Amino acid sequence: MNYVNPQYLTSTQQLADLIAEDSGQLRIFDVSVSLVPKATTYVAISGKDDYLKSHIAGAAFIDLMQDFSDTSSAFGFTLPSAQNLESAYRIAGIGENDKVVIYSSSHMMWATRFWWMLYSCGHKNVSVLDGGFAKWQVEERAISTEPRSYDPGDFSVQFNRERWADKDTVLAAIDQESICTINALSPDVYSGDAEMSYGRKGHIKNSKNVFYGDLLEAGCFHSADELQDLFRDRGVLDKPGVISYCGGGISATIDALGLALIGYEAVAVYDGSMREWASDENLPMMRGSNYD
């Protein structure tokens, strides 16, 4: 695929080879979450029950909703403190020198969310399973119903705050020539034409639409050339910095990983995203098609 950073993805064959090698430092995690439609929004449900029914043989489950989110926040999946993240990573069994491979049995965005979290915390060997559990199953690779856990790890968080944006940073970026703010949601949600919304319809003023689904084909990332063309066509590569957002800071990480794959890593994810932004009537929004 000619990525600048191919190490951020692991193919199903590469993972099968890693499992066969049995180095003792491979950590495979299912981080699945399900989204259930409800009226004009979605309700998130832990993927643990699905994990217990079937998962990649040798994989452990990570509960993004409980163990890797600030449950005291008014907004779901809010990033915990660096200290709490370090504790959770260690309890999950993640060590400094482990090879960590993350996948989801639902949508890839849950895997990219956890990848972005661990990546922003300084782990040097973490990747997303390209194609996820669906591709693994289609290829009839080893699955299991036996839960797995790892011994506690020793990973030390080196948190990079530049990988994350808050609403003040996003507000300041609206009129900055050096930052391109991108919305990863579907075009109809972005424009405000969809029935579904996060309170106020539309998108953050002056942000461009780069739908996360356009980066993927059958759950796998497009080639480097295709990603380059997509981001270039949307004007994203014209500016030295990017802020990616979505509904709740989840699918925005697909855009963030896509940019990282092609070597564009001056990216921040807006953690609160539309759930936070749309809840504040003072924050500017727009409706309509892609902003030029």
List of domains in the chain: 6-159 (3.40.250.10), 162-286 (3.40.250.10)
Contact 266, 241 (CB under 8 A): yes
The pLDDT of residue 19: 97
Mean pLDDT of 230-246: 96
What is the H or E stretch that residue 102 is in? Answer: strand 99-103
Mean pLDDT of 213-227: 97
Secondary structure (H, E, C), 138-162: HCCCCEECCCCCCCCCCCCCCCCHH
Give per-residue pLDDT as tens, 176-207: 999 999 999 999 999 999 988 888 999 999 99
Q: Going by DSSP bridges, is the β-strand pair 203-204/267-270 parallel, antiparallel, or unpaired?
A: unpaired
Binning pLDDT at 50, 70 and 90, where does residue 290 land? Answer: low
Q: Alpha carbon 45 to chain centroid distance?
A: 17
Mean pLDDT of 13-24: 94
pLDDT greater at residue 51 or residue 45: 51
Asked if pLDDT for residue 291 goes beyond 60, the answer is no
The pLDDT of residue 122: 98
Token pair in block for residue 212: 């996360």
Return the number of other C-beta atoms located less than 10 Å from residue 59's C-beta: 26
The pLDDT of residue 39: 66
Asked if pLDDT for residue 235 goes beyond 60, the answer is yes
The pLDDT of residue 196: 85
Give per-residue pLDDT as tens, 86-141: 999 999 999 999 999 999 999 999 999 999 999 999 999 999 999 999 999 999 99
> Cα(120)–Cα(126) distance, rounded to whole angstroms?
11
Binning pLDDT at 50, 70 and 90, where does residue 56 land? Answer: very high
Binning pLDDT at 50, 70 and 90, where does residue 292 land? Answer: very low
pTM, full prediction: 0.96
Binning pLDDT at 50, 70 and 90, where does residue 44 land? Answer: confident
